[in-house]
Structure 1
């Protein structure tokens, strides 16, 4: 919901940084993998209860996630780059809830499993829509230049990052925060399914 509103503010500096990185020979895929490594490091920090360090790694990971697209636009967008980016994103999104479950399986297990389920359902609705949109040759740049068709929703990347930061700031509230966010993820997926029924039926 917030992604398209913040893009006009973050894209210009990211694109400038991306062009500089591309001139230095940096590849978008390298930045993508670096972002994933930072995200995995955030998960490890959570398991070790180093929540402030986890916040820094999460922010650095998402900076890399924005920068890889900027580098790709400067060097030339590739289908594999888009595939690698979305795959690494989903690994990152699963890592943070999993880290909280590993931290305290007894207290966090059920809520963490529900949260991961909601992520899985939301991701499936998103990717399924993207496949059909490609088949219909649909295009949208509301979320920036992407290799996949991005449908908006109640919860998008920005909201998810804010949620992860809240988990790190208030780890004692993991269960209610996760249950609430998981429900909103399912609402987002349902809205996308209803949109697909309207757009693709017949």
Structure 2
């Protein structure tokens, strides 16, 4: 919901950093993989109860996620880069709820499962529409230049990151945050399905 509004504020400094990193020979795919490593480390830290370290690592993962696109814009965008970016993002989104479920199964397992289900529904609606949009030639730059059609929704990257950071900062709130965000994601998934049906009807 907030991604498109935040992009004009975030893109200029990210683009400057991306140009600088590209000048040092750092590639977009290398930054994507570094971000994924931060995400895996965040999962491990949370599982071990080091949730404040998890907070920092989640933030680093998201910074790297912004910088890989900035480096690509400063050099060259590739299909492989776009594929790695979206795929490893989804791996990361699944890893954090799983980490909290492992940390405290009695309190967190059921809300983590509900949150993962909502991510599955939201992600399916998002990716399936992207495939159909490509086939029918639909285009948008509402979320900036993307490797695939980015269908906006109530729950997007900014909201997910904010919730993950709050979970890591106050782990005792995980069940409440997970249930609440699962509901938001399911509403977002339903809205994306309805938008997709309207956009693709008759094609």
**TM-score category by the smaller chain?**
over 0.9
2:27 is matched with: 27
1:183 is matched with: 183
1:79 is matched with: 79
1:139-197, Cα deviation, whole Å (9 max, x unpaired):
11111111111011101000000000111122112112111100110110100000011
TM-score by length of 2: 0.97
**1:131 Cα shift?**
0.6
2:45 is matched with: 45
**1:91 Cα shift?**
0.7
1:171 is matched with: 171
1:201 is matched with: 201
Equivalent residues in 2 for 1:114-125, closer than 5 Å: 114-125=114-125
Query: Over aligned residue pairs, what C-alpha RMSD do you find?
Result: 0.8
| Other structure's SS at 1:124 match | helix
2:139 is matched with: 139
| Other structure's SS at 1:62 match | helix
2:3 is matched with: 3
